Amino acid sequence: MNSLRFRAALAGAVSILALQACGNAASEPGNAPAGQDAPIMTEVPPAGQLPTGVTPLAYRLDLKTDPDADSFGGLVEIDVDLSAPHGRIWLHSVDQDILDARAILPDGTSIPATFTGDQAPGGVSRLDFDTPLPAGPATLELSYIAPYNFGLAGLYKAVQSDTDYLATQMEAIDARRMVPSFDEPRFKTPWTVTVTAPAGMQVIANGEEINAEPAEDGWVRHEFAKTRPIQSYLVALAVGPYEERIAADIPATALRAEPIPLRGFAAIGKRDKLAESLDITDEMLLWQESYFDYPYPYGKLDLIAAPEFAYGAMENAGAIVYREAALLMDEQTSLARRRGVLTTHAHELGHQWFGNLVTPKWWNDIWLNEAFATWISYKTMHAVDPDGEWNLSPILAGLSAMGSDSLVAARQIRNPINANGDILDAFDAITYRKGGSVLNMFETYLGEEDFRAGIRLHMKRFEDGVADADDFMQSIADGSGQPEIVSSFTSYISQPGIPSLDVAVSCPAPDAGLITITQKRYAPLGSDIDPDAQVWEIPFAARINGPTGDRTIRQMLKDRVTEIPLDGGCADWVMPNADGTGYWRFDTGSDNLNALIDAYDSLSDGE
């Protein structure tokens, strides 16, 4: 459907509720070509992932929105590729009144479809076509109206000081509230968005605004540039009387020829509270660009403080939405809150590469998204504020996760997601804090440069695409040149709990010390955990002080019991967690413990 037909569909609406369907008059489709396979008519609604065989390639979305109304209207075109003929297509839609649905074939043939919603939890819906669609390309067209959500999901309304604002929160599976879609992370496509809104409103989307022109009386039609391929949960929109603060462009670099326009948006009266977050954005983003060795992917960057928001922030590509307390600062903001704002901001910026540019295939790997962003937020802050002790943050995060990870019911990091209802269970301390701590541990073991080489390789291998944890581990192994890291990483993400190491330090000969390490699963007193039921491949690092000086040894512990000889003499003391970055607990003998206490001032802050 071209833009003229979009205009015709929307211009006739006197109000949002009066929006009517449009489209080509249904033509009389012919029969499927002779010899073509029988069309697919999957009967059982999918509980989790949609069936394979239908791949979305691009979205064109035209919305008419008014924050003062109760509902909005939409018209969406979805270019798809069908691997085989289809008489039925499954997709997602929640709380939408579908006014018209059809498919348009490349030759212009229009095939009407019947929409049936709520076939399974999570808005699983279906389109049944009057005549089966042939294999190959087609365009799905759906016009609809839908209410604004009041539960901070999808395209929702927030009210502050008797003023209405619109914002979006799509993750995990709420893009389907704003637009009928194939709402899964494995589907990454360009989105072209047009929004018609009352004059005087700010309208912010993922792409840069390329045109704004008057529509019917009192309305303005805003057209936005087509995005790079993004997943549906990163689609963003904000509409309302937001106050705008324009910051200085983030300057061009050797990686990126063009500067990045930077703006902030907040509710009426709060514009000045955007200043500090905007002012530090260039330092954060430039450091992250250098770390990834990949230019910021999304052209412009908008920071939006929504009047109400369910989470801390959401990493929408090029249009990040924040809870007000996670972005706005003034002279009364406490140090603790300020640190929280900065780490949240660095977290969301880090997602622009890890999570947005490269995306998990399915929700079982959302831990990697969030763990990585958690880890790099601390690393970013340590780079821009080296005196802030941000290097201790991933250690503290790991320690805070150990409470829930000590339970017999603890889940593994990479947890199976079999149904839509399982997805939100993955957003917890195990994902963010344990996951970030585990990444910090592997960086320490491999070395900063080798670990970063793996990250950079991963960005280039999977840019604008999807990847799972196995892909990530292989990129780290290939980039670092240490293939054994794959099985070690797997042992940490595929089983719950905390390794507990008994570290015995002995001196069997005057010129040769020995460390004997026995591993088990940590079990609190009275727990039903079987401590001997699991073995990890632990990227062990210990700090040794003795006749040969102060050094760190690293060795992969693959067995339940490992002996590490110390050539050159007996150790004065052994710190069984060098730099404190290992995700494990340890016990050690009284002699070594007393020696560590005596050497307390020699230990690092992490230790």
| Mean pLDDT confidence for 35-52 | 88
pLDDT in tens, 591-605: 999 999 999 999 999
> SS3 sequence, 62-94?
EEECCCCCCEEEEEEEEEEEECCCEEEEEEECC
Instruction: Check: CB of residue 80 under 8 Å from CB of residue 139.
Output: yes
Residues 6+ away with beta carbon under 8 Å from 603: 575, 596
pLDDT in tens, 269-316: 999 999 999 999 999 999 999 999 999 999 999 999 999 999 999 999
The per-residue pLDDT for 348 is: 98
Structure tokens at 32: 């499927």
pLDDT in tens, 165-195: 999 999 999 999 999 999 999 999 999 999 9
How far CA 477 is from CA of 355, 455, 457, 486, in Å, comes to: 20, 10, 10, 7
The per-residue pLDDT for 421 is: 84
% of the chain surpassing 90 pLDDT? 89
Q: Say how far apart CA 554 and CA 441 lie, in whole Å.
A: 12
The per-residue pLDDT for 36 is: 54
Among 5-14, 179-188, 254-263, 406-415, the range scoring the smallest mean pLDDT is 5-14
pLDDT in tens, 332-363: 999 999 999 999 999 999 999 999 999 999 99
Of 11, 13, 153, residue with least CA distance to 94? 153
Q: Say how far apart CA 559 and CA 539 lie, in whole Å.
A: 12
Q: Which CATH architecture has domain 358-493?
A: Orthogonal Bundle (1.10)
Flag whether pLDDT at 557 surpasses 60: yes
- The overall average pLDDT reported for the chain is 93
Is 223 one of the catalytic residues? no
Flag whether pLDDT at 539 surpasses 50: yes
Q: Say how far apart CA 244 and CA 263 lie, in whole Å.
A: 7
CA 268, chain centre distance (Å): 29
3-state SS assignment for residue 98: strand
The residue count of the chain comes to 607
How far CA 350 is from CA of 250, 280, 343, 357, 378, in Å, comes to: 16, 14, 10, 10, 10
Phi, psi angles (nearest 5°) of residue 174: -115, 5
How far CA 262 is from CA of 142, 212, 277, 444, 474, in Å, comes to: 34, 19, 11, 34, 35
- Angle, alpha carbons 493-495-499 (nearest 5°): 95
Q: What letter represents residue 570's amino acid? A: C
CATH of domain 3-30+44-241: 2.60.40.1730
CA 44, chain centre distance (Å): 30
Beta strand 202-205 pairing with 237-240: antiparallel
pLDDT in tens, 372-387: 999 999 999 999 999 9
For the domain made up of 500-602, give the CATH fold: Immunoglobulin-like (2.60.40)
According to DSSP, residue 431 is labeled I
Domain boundaries, the chain: 3-30+44-241, 358-493, 500-602
% of the chain surpassing 70 pLDDT? 94
356: part of which helix (H) or strand (E)?
A: none
Residues 6+ away with beta carbon under 8 Å from 207: 191, 192, 193, 224, 225, 226, 227, 299, 318
Residues 6+ away with beta carbon under 8 Å from 88: 39, 40, 41, 42, 126, 127, 128, 129
Q: 154 forms bridges with which residues in the sheet?
A: 169
The pTM assigned to this predicted structure is: 0.92
For residue 398, what pLDDT band results from cuts at 50, 70 and 90? very high
Q: Say how far apart CA 103 and CA 142 lie, in whole Å.
A: 9
pLDDT in tens, 78-130: 999 999 999 999 999 999 999 999 999 999 999 999 999 999 999 999 999 99
Of 42, 55, 46, 61, residue with least CA distance to 175? 61
Structure tokens at 31: 């029969």
Q: Say how far apart CA 80 and CA 557 lie, in whole Å.
A: 49
pLDDT in tens, 570-589: 999 999 999 999 999 999 99
For residue 32, what pLDDT band results from cuts at 50, 70 and 90? very low
> Which residue's entry shows tokens 């900065």?
342
The per-residue pLDDT for 422 is: 85
Instruction: Check: CB of residue 602 under 8 Å from CB of residue 545.
Output: yes
| Mean pLDDT confidence for 499-523 | 94
Torsion of CA 538, 543, 546, 548, to 10 degrees: 90
pLDDT in tens, 421-471: 888 888 888 999 999 999 999 999 999 999 999 999 999 999 999 999 999
Q: 265 forms bridges with which residues in the sheet?
A: 244, 304
For residue 150, what pLDDT band results from cuts at 50, 70 and 90? very high
Establish whether domains 358-493 and 500-602 are of one fold. no
Residue 146, number of CB atoms within 10 A of its CB: 23
> Which residue's entry shows tokens 């992250």?
288
Q: How many helices (H) and strands (E) does the chain have?
A: 12, 30
pLDDT in tens, 3-26: 434 444 444 333 333 333 333 333
- The full DSSP string for 35-66 is TPPPPB---SPPSSSPPTTEEEEEEEEEEE--
* Residue among 171, 348, 370, 537 flagged as catalytic: 348
The answer to whether the Cα torsion of 307, 311, 316, 318 is positive or negative is positive
